[in-house]
Amino acid sequence: MSYTNTKKVLIAIIVIGLLLSGFTLIADAYFVGSSESDVFHKPSCFYVDRIKPDHLVYFDTVREACNAGYRPCKRCNPPPCPPTLPPPSPPEVTTKDATGGTYATLNGYLASTGNCVCNVWFEYGATMSYGRSTTKMSKTTTGEFSEPISGLTPGTTYHYRAVASNAEGTVYGLASSFCVLGPPQVTTIAASSVSTTSTTLSGNLDSTRCLDCLVWFEYGTTTNYSNSTPEVYKSSPGTFSKHISGLSPGTTYHFRAIALNREGIDYGADRLFETPTQKLPLRIGAFNIQVFGKSKAGKPEVMDVLADIIRTYDIVAIQEIRDKDQTALPQLVDLVNSKGVHYDYVVGPRLGRSSSKEQYAYIYNNQTVNLNGTPWTYPEPNGTDPFLREPYIAAFRAVNGSFDATFLVMHVDPDKATEEINALDAVVNYTKNEYPDEPDFIVLGNLNADCSYFDKDSNCSICGDDYYWCINNSIDTTTSATNCTYDRIIITSPAVPDYTGDSGVFRYDILYNLTEEETKAVSDHYPIYAEFYCDGNIDTPEKRGYPPLKFSRHDPKLYLIAPILHP
């Protein structure tokens, strides 16, 4: 064989080997394409034989071919390209409403897995900090998921949210909440405004346990009760009251508050109240507390005495409040109420011609008297200035009874005592025009109406038959060595039938066993008082069986201790 022929044989063998290797690759491949086109084929396709060997492209899967940008051949019809998958991402989760009562089922919705396996669970607790979580659940598909929880406290609001996590991150559903259902909880509160024939019953709906409730009272002379008030709808916790009447004087009554919802009923504890056999008189008074401000309010031993004194009054007119910060008076009233009573106050503007200004206030027991209208300060006529500190005027009426009167509190300038006292008649007449249907007026306070300050021989316009001075010259109203009746309670003549005849100074030093130093630390004045019938507006004292009022004006001064009627 020639060299040329041998060379041709070797070339043929090589070509055949390459073709056979190409056929082997094609046979082994799942799908075949050409680098010169964008179509892939099955290995057995007619078009595969026409692709040059060096242009052959091999694919193990349809997705591999499709991801390389090839499309299926329309002749051999390999499987179509699957949908393109987005890149992995965090999941999406939604919190849904919980269901249940003393237990609950928490519900959520996995809106997206993020193309990854997810864990889903819930966080929950009595605050937005949660603090508790359910067992994690694995999910590979979107959809709802739930988890029951138990051991919940009735009436408690629980907060919760759905959580989902995958390799790409953790996401939280919006926070939601549910309330655990149960019977309501109610507390009976002490009765108030107890009179001979009526009272106000009170209760507190402590918890509705997330449901609308009906509340009412049962009452009677025994714990079997025999009466009930109408049911009242309540949708939220809080106090509720009902005034009842038709009671018997001098009788002990039992009562309790009741609450009902669709989960059950709750009874408050039994409580008692006793109707008085007769109406107690109202104690009216005035007290110059001598420079009452932050300094005196900072002395607990003094404030305790002041609070004890005020609790003996139904209405007390306070003078000489010197407190630019306006904190001492609220502090005192809070201390008064710390013993379970219910006093309120109104206070006037700061008055005076210099930088040293004073205020008046009325502190009153709102269980025995009500404020009638808005208090006001006497407007001095244009071009006049009769008072260093103009009177502060307020009207009150009894809660249980017909007594009502208008009060004018005054702290007279000692240097102008005669002039200011003589100007008070004009204030009363002005006030009568403001209250045309009210005949009863009470002027009270430190009038400096004695000793060297007040000229008793002057033409006193408020000393005539139209007025009655309940605190007369036989009473020393000072705590010092002086012997003067500076403080006064003066009433108009129509109010005299309402006056019981009992008046004087409250000797707190004797009653509380104070030293002279402790007494003067409270004030240089004793508080004064006068008592009035609750059922006023009776023409004469004789109609009540009491003698006409007569008082001596002799010295020495009388030292009277006011009994405590309203502890």
Active site (catalytic) residues:
358, 411
Tokens at 206, concatenated: 């402590």
Q: In terms of C-beta density within 10 A (0-12 exposed, 13-18 middle, 19 or more buried), how is residue 397 classed? A: middle
What residue has token string 């009502």? Answer: 404
d(CA 474, CA 508): 19
Q: CA-based angle 375:371:249, to the nearest 5?
A: 160
Helix (H, G, I), strand (E, B), or coil: what is residue 18? helix
Q: What is the 3-state secondary structure (H, E, C) of 172-231?
A: ECCCEEEECCCCCEEEEEEEECCCCCCEEEEEEEEECCCCCEEEEEEEECCCCCCEECCC
d(CA 281, CA 470): 15
Q: What is the CA radius of gyration of the chain?
A: 47
Buried b (16+ CB within 10 A) or exposed e, 127-139: eeebeeebeebeb
What residue has token string 């060379």? Answer: 7
Q: Which helix (H) or strand (E) holds 409?
A: strand 404-409
Tally Cβ neighbours within 10 Å of residue 404: 20
Residue 302 zone, left/alpha/beta (φ > 0; ψ -120 to 50; rest): alpha
Residues 6+ apart with CB under 8 A from 545: none
Q: What is the 3-state secondary structure (H, E, C) of 142-175?
A: CEEEEEEECCCCCCCEEEEEEEEEECCEEEECCC
Measured CA to CA in angstroms, residue 133 lies from 60, 437, 441 at distances of 46, 71, 70
